[in-house]
A = this chain, B = another copy of it.
Amino acid sequence: MVFCSGDPLCGNEVTCMEKQQIGNNFFIPMPVVIVGTQVNGKDNFMAVGWCARVNGNPPMIACGIANNHHTPQGMSTSKTFSVNIPSSDLLEKTDYCGIVSGENTDKSKVFRVFYGSLKTAPMIEECPITLECRLVQTVALPTHGLYIGEIVGAYADGSVITDGKPDFPMIDPLFLTMPDNRYWTLGKYAGDAWSAGKKLIEQSQNNTQKGQK
């Protein structure tokens, strides 16, 4: 244990644990998605744990996928892909799509498929939210490729829309942690973004005013 100086915002004295170095290969907990592609004319699906929104307008999403996978072949050829968000009840099928390669297994019948405006980005009917994307850029990294797509269509089951907005507890997404290799559900509502921190703005303004008196 080391003892630290007081918390600058509250002024109370606190203690903190000593830091220890862990392996650099740390994986932040990530939402699990299923990427859909057509490879050699056949629908293929792959579970992907490294996926994030990356641009605001137009909306873009990026997926980090290892170079040796079957999926990049479909993305590169058709210049399209889908990003499907499975609910926790699809955990087994999602995991199946992560451990079986489309190179030697036909995954085209694992889900029911529908198409949007892009005719080569197969989307999964059973997933409550699905996005169809046009590949706009590929960034080559040492062991992975980063596939950046513009979202050109987004589809939802009516059951996961409340007051016109996606209802995330209803979507019931999965998260992946590594290296413990576990799936998790979404937890409890914890606070409002762009709002909860306003208390500290007021606090900081009050402290400034006190200091000026």
Contact = CB atoms under 8 A, between A and B. Distances in A.
B54 A141 contact: yes
Contacts of A33: 28
A149 to B, nearest CB: 11
Interface centre among A5, A111, A189 (most CB of B within 10 A): A189
A57 to B, nearest CB: 5
A197 B141 CA distance: 29
A171 to B, nearest CB: 8
Interface in A1-59: 4-5, 7-9, 16-31, 33, 49-59
Contacts of A192: 95, 181-183
Given A26-B166, A53-B64, A184 B186 contact: yes
Given A53-B27, A98-B193, A193-B181, A148 B157 contact: no
Nearest to A25: B59
Interface in A177-206: 177-201
B30 A200 contact: no
Given A25-B59, A184-B187, 17 more contacts: A8-B112, A22-B154, A22-B166, A29-B168, A30-B53, A58-B142, A92-B196, A92-B197, A95-B195, A137-B139, A139-B139, A168-B184, A174-B190, A175-B186, A182-B189, A183-B192, A183-B193
